[in-house]
Structure 1
């Protein structure tokens, strides 16, 4: 309990004890002046009754004040709950908006990455085709050079053979056989 409530209870208890102890004096009949008339009544009971009415009015006022405060608190609670709901909805919409924007950016990035990858693949294919053409040209040139070198070598060997044959006396049968070998060698190449 609050200190104020305890204090009020103590005052009421002391007042009740005082009334009980002095009940005899309070209940004696006296002439009471009410400004416009005079009456015969116990003054103590009139004072206690007036005090009781004031206490009752104060109690009613306190209850009314507490009830209005509770109503205000309830209204404030409802407003706070509504504001929290609005804030949560706003957060949800912001999260949804951010998620949508993120998905859009991710799609854009994926599209860009796919385009770049396609460009790189096309560039790689073009370079590969160019390298293959160049390699084919180099292979043809190498084959041509090899053929030319074989032809030169055959010509040089033929000239050397003629010189050797011309320089050496050879039997006739061997020369015929060598000529046949030469013809076979030339047929092979």
Structure 2
């Protein structure tokens, strides 16, 4: 569990314990002014209900945020994997092109090298004969 969740749980448990110990005071009716009228109602219970509603709204908002984060993370992972696959395919294509190029050019280079070596041998042989 996250530290924040533990702290909120401990605070709510403490509030519930406090309300239970003082329930007679919490449930005592009092006159409340609600702008357009006066109502006799237990102020403590009303405040506890308000705290409960606010806690529920917070929990729902937090859950929505967690779900949105998980969905975004999953989308980012899919995008990353897609980009990685494209990069791997591009790399494989480049390697294949390099292999094809080398298969074409190495025989040509061998022929040119042999021709150069033959010319060098002939030049060396003619230089020995003239000395």
Which TM-score band applies after superposition, normalised by the shorter structure?
0.7 to 0.9
Gaps of 5+ in 2: 123-131
Distance 1:107 1:8 in 2: 76
- Provide the TM-score with structure 2 as the length reference: 0.82
Flag the structure with more relative contact order, 1 or 2, with Cα contacts below 8 A and sequence separation at least 6. 2
Distance 2:99 2:35 in 1: 83
Distance 1:50 1:75 in 2: 37
Which residue of structure 2 lines up, in the alignment, with residue 12 of structure 1? 12
Q: Deviations over 1:41-96 (max 9, x none)?
A: 11111000011000000000000111111111111111111111111111111111
Q: Point out 4+ residue stretches in structure 1 off by more than 6 angstroms.
A: none
SS at match of 1:30: strand
**How far is the alpha carbon of 1:113 from its aligned partner?**
4.9
Which residue of structure 1 lines up, in the alignment, with residue 63 of structure 2? 63
Backbone CA RMSD of aligned residues: 2.0
After TM superposition, list the pairs within 5 Å mapping 1:7-46 onto structure 2.
7-46=7-46
Using the TM superposition, name which of 104-113 and 1-10 deviates more. 104-113
**How far is the alpha carbon of 1:13 from its aligned partner?**
1.2
Gaps of 5+ in 1: 124-189
SS at match of 2:81: helix
Q: Deviations over 1:89-147 (max 9, x none)?
A: 11111111111111122122234356x39x67xx8xxxxxxxxxxxxxxxxxxxxxxxx
